[in-house]
A = this chain, B = another copy of it.
Amino acid sequence: MSKGLPSRDTEFSSWYNAVVSKAGLAEHGPVKGTMVIKPYGFQLWDNIKDIFDKMIKATGHVNAYFPLFIPKSFLAQEAEHVEGFAKECAVVTHTRLKSDPEHGVVVDPESKLDEEVIVRPTSETVIWSMYKKWIQSYRDLPLLINQWANVVRWEMRTRLFLRTSEFLWQEGHTAHATADEAQKETLDILELYRQLAEDYLAMPVITGIKTESEKFAGADKTYCIEAMMGDKRALQAGTSHNLGQNFAKAFNVTFQTKDNKEELVYATSWGVSTRLVGAVILTHGDDKGLRLPPKIAPIQVVIIPIAKNDEQQTAVKNYLEPIRKSLAEKNVRFYEDWTDSSPGFKFNEWEMKGVPLRLEVGPRDVENGKAVLARRDTGEKSVLSLDEAISFIPPLLDEIQDGLFSQALQFQNENTYSVDNYDAFKKQIKEGGFVKCGWDGSDETEVAIKGETKATIRCIPLDENPEGLTCIYSGKPALHEVIYAKAY
């Protein structure tokens, strides 16, 4: 329990907050629910962003930027959509402040807007109002546009990265000529999300579809990736929506087909957010702090020089030159910590920050042509020759990446249970983990179970096998095999 972290086993929630703070990732902003992402946390998000940006560009998507502000009336165009977002909207009503002799600076009542403006909670409405102008014919389709942006959902109970009033995300908004194409896009993106989570964040996920009650407000279908956090609770890490023709209807977006007919356009939308940073912490963190997958780590190797005087410093500095050169050539992200603090302090600090590898070099190592290489994931330390250290670092980073994934996957597997009756279900939900079971497909069952256990259907997995299952609640034949869990 270095640096006074609360116990991860018994105080998971406090442990999370302490890691976010002590690793220098984020802090609360002055307005309730807002978040300040500190440089180290931001670089982590930026790395995730860069990776996903390349993925979507490689699949033909382009970036654009749509306004922060949406006319109130737009939100109301799609009935389910406004229902879903009305209760958490930041509303701009005025455009000026003025001095008041009694109360200091006040809002100028003269500056009241005729129509109030909403700070986007998501951009379907403003984007489809533009698509109406951009889409006339099948030649204009598909439209594969993404934006990286901030959005606002006024939340009462917030948690850094996991649930904040303002968060950063990407939101893809595509337009298609056919239902099949839109469905294919929805699933293609789900697969990209799976790859992002598993291959880069080292976070195993279940891909599935949400139930009617859990889907996005305005979608026909919502697909998701769900991950298991270190406390066995589920976290929805990304969603991909097939919006059908709902937004095309709301904004009257039609196109001329090849055979000269007028048809409504099909839509998808999909997003992942800064929540992923929270997911990484909750998946890989341990009692010493963060453990970062090398592919997204801002710093992959931290070099700790150990030197007591100027002479030793110079010796160590020179000795490190080939390491520096080699790591730079191999595009390894490294950092040398030459601050005044003690080596022990630095070890703790960089462990807290989750840097995958630590290289220690002191005067004795210089003499002997050695270096000490320590792994953050396992804590293992090896004394190596400098050449060995140089050549071992890139494959070790891969090994750590794979190791973190395997460990998380094993944890997920070990904590996923199949049950066939409600008693076993309730017992398991209380103990934690993912619970696989049959569900009769009815709203009533879903509502009842949620009311009694606080667990929700995380998704109907794409690889579900409902055959022969009965609903744990109603005893009727199961329509679906679902995954239940308590969730963030």
A residues with CB within 8 A of B: 27, 29-31, 34-39, 42-43, 45-46, 62-76, 82, 86-99, 104-105, 107, 111, 116-119, 126, 129-130, 133, 145, 149-150, 152, 154, 165-166, 168
Minimum CB distance partner of A143 in chain B: B39
Q: Is the pair B107, A31 in contact by a Cβ cutoff of 8 Å?
A: no
Q: Which of A86, A91, A93 has the most CB of B within 10 A?
A: A91
B92 touches A105 (CB 8 A): no
Q: Whole-angstrom distance between the alpha carbons of A150 and B152 in the complex?
A: 13
Among B45, B99, B117, contact of A90 (Cβ-Cβ < 8 Å)? B117
Beta-carbon contact of A90 and B95 below 8 Å: yes
Given A42-B64, A64-B42, A88-B96, decide whether A70 and B31 contact each other with a Cβ distance below 8 A.
Answer: yes
Which of B87, B104, B126 interacts with A29 by CB under 8 Å?
B126
Separation of A35 and B133 alpha carbons in the complex (Å): 14
Which of B69, B71, B107 sits near A93, CB closer than 8 Å? Answer: B107
- Sorted nearest first, the 7 A-B pairs with minimum C-beta distance are A34-B67, A29-B67, A39-B62, A86-B97, A37-B65, A76-B105, A95-B154
User: In the complex the two chains form, is B154's CB within 8 Å of A96's CB?
Assistant: yes
Q: How far apart are A173's CB and chain B's nearest CB, in angstroms? A: 12
Q: Is the CB of B105 within 8 A of A67?
A: no
CB <8 Å contact, B97 and A75: yes
Minimum CB–CB distance for A469 against chain B, Å: 40
Q: Which residues of B contact A67 (CB under 8 A)?
A: 29-31, 34-36, 166
Q: How far is the CA of A152 from the CA of B65 in the complex (A)?
A: 15
List, in ascending order, chain B residues with CB within 8 A of A76's CB: 104-105
Q: Which residues of B contact A69 (CB under 8 A)?
A: 29, 31, 34, 90, 152, 165-166
Contacting pair B104 A36 (CB below 8 A): no
A357 to chain B, nearest CB (A): 21
- With A43-B62, A67-B166, A70-B30 as contacts: A97 and B105 at CB distance below 8 Å: no
Q: Which of B63, B82, B130, B154 sits near A42, CB closer than 8 Å?
A: B63
Asked whether B95 lies within 8 Å of A89 as measured between CB atoms, the reply is: yes
A118 to B31, CA, bound (A): 10
Question: A76-B104, A126-B29, A129-B30 are contacts. A64–B38 as well, Cβ < 8 Å?
Answer: yes
B71 and A31 contact, CB distance less than 8 A? yes
Once the chains bind, are A68 and B107 in contact (CB under 8 Å)? no
CB-based nearest B residue for A99: B86
Bound complex: CA of A438 vs CA of B130, how far in Å?
50
Which residues from B are CB-within-8-Å of A62?
39, 42-43
Known contacts A107-B116, A150-B150; decide if A71 and B30 are in contact (CB<8 Å): yes
Among A45, A104, A117, A145, residue most surrounded by chain B Cβ atoms (within 10 Å): A117
Given contacts A119-B119, A130-B36, whether A66 and B29 have CB atoms under 8 Å apart is yes
What's the minimum C-beta distance from A177 to chain B, rounded to whole angstroms? 16
Please measure, in the bound complex, the distance between the C-alpha atom of A66 and the C-alpha atom of B38, giving whole angstroms. 8
- Residues from chain B with Cβ under 8 Å of A105 in the complex: 72-73, 75-76, 82, 86
Contact B96 A86 (CB under 8 A): yes
Given contacts A39-B64, A88-B96, 5 further A-B contacts (CB under 8 A): A31-B117, A34-B68, A35-B67, A91-B95, A96-B154
Find chain B residues with CB under 8 A from A149 CB: 150
